[in-house]
């Protein structure tokens, strides 16, 4: 093989290696927040402020309904099992999650210069997430509170999955909040089962026993 042929092969291999490195660098940049500089941040500062206003509104709804004296008394009387944090812990962790998740969603908004499905899922989560509090403490509907936590957790899971395909840092921020929402859903499910579902099942069992006893007497 001639020296010129060897040089051509080496040049092709070098070019191939350079292209692969460029592709890796581009992929890494897609998942990073290198696109977010000071100018880009200032250009989209209003959506960030709006996001924090939404988080503050969700926090107010959550805290107001749960902090009433009647709410605290009602919660203390509910039958609980397994996962059973204090009401103050639930409020503090949930509110912290609202404010931590906001800048993560904002980063996705900035990258795409507007709304995307992950950002819309975050909005749905922020609207639905605090509604378990009025459902539980104002309406006293445990099943509705359980449903609200399931919807908010599902929307947050979709949001986090979408973040992971876009900006890894945003997904890492959201993952602990997903874990907390799953735990909160389990808690509301336990409250619903222990205080409503068991009573319903007991009433049905008692009704069947009475009907069965009545038929035996007639026979």
> What six digits make up the tokens of 186?
């389990």
211 or 77, greater pLDDT: 77
pLDDT band at 217 (very low <50, low <70, confident <90, very high): very low
State how far the Cα of 39 lies from the Cα of 154, in Å rounded to an integer.
Answer: 34
pLDDT band at 163 (very low <50, low <70, confident <90, very high): confident
Q: How much is the pTM?
A: 0.74
pLDDT tens profile 64-98:
999 999 998 999 999 988 778 899 999 999 999 99
State how far the Cα of 151 lies from the Cα of 19, in Å rounded to an integer.
Answer: 44
Helices (H), 78-197: 87-112, 117-128, 132-137, 142-164, 168-192
pLDDT tens profile 170-203:
888 999 999 999 999 999 999 999 998 877 776 5
pLDDT band at 215 (very low <50, low <70, confident <90, very high): very low
């Amino acid at each position: 093989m001639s020296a010129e042929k060897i040089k051509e092969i080496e040049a092709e291999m070098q070019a191939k290696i350079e292209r692969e490195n460029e592709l890796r660098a581009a992929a890494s940049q897609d998942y990073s927040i290198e696109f977010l500089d000071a100018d880009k941040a200032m250009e989209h500062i209003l959506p960030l402020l709006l996001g924090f206003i939404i988080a503050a509104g969700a926090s107010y709804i959550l805290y107001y309904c749960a902090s009433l004296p009647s709410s605290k008394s009602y919660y203390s009387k509910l039958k609980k099992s397994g996962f059973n944090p204090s009401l103050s812990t639930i409020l503090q962790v949930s509110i912290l999650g609202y404010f931590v998740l906001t800048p993560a969603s904002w980063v996705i908004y900035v990258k795409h210069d507007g709304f995307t499905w992950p950002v819309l899922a975050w909005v749905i989560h922020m609207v639905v997430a605090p509604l378990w509090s009025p459902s539980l403490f104002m309406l006293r509907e445990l099943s509705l509170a359980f449903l609200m936590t399931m919807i908010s957790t599902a929307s947050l899971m979709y949001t986090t999955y979408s973040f992971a395909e876009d900006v890894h840092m945003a997904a890492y921020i959201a993952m602990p909040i997903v874990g907390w929402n799953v735990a909160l859903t389990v808690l509301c499910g336990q409250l619903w089962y222990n205080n409503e579902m068991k009573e319903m099942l007991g009433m049905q069992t008692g009704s069947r026993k009475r009907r069965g006893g009545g038929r035996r007497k007639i026979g």
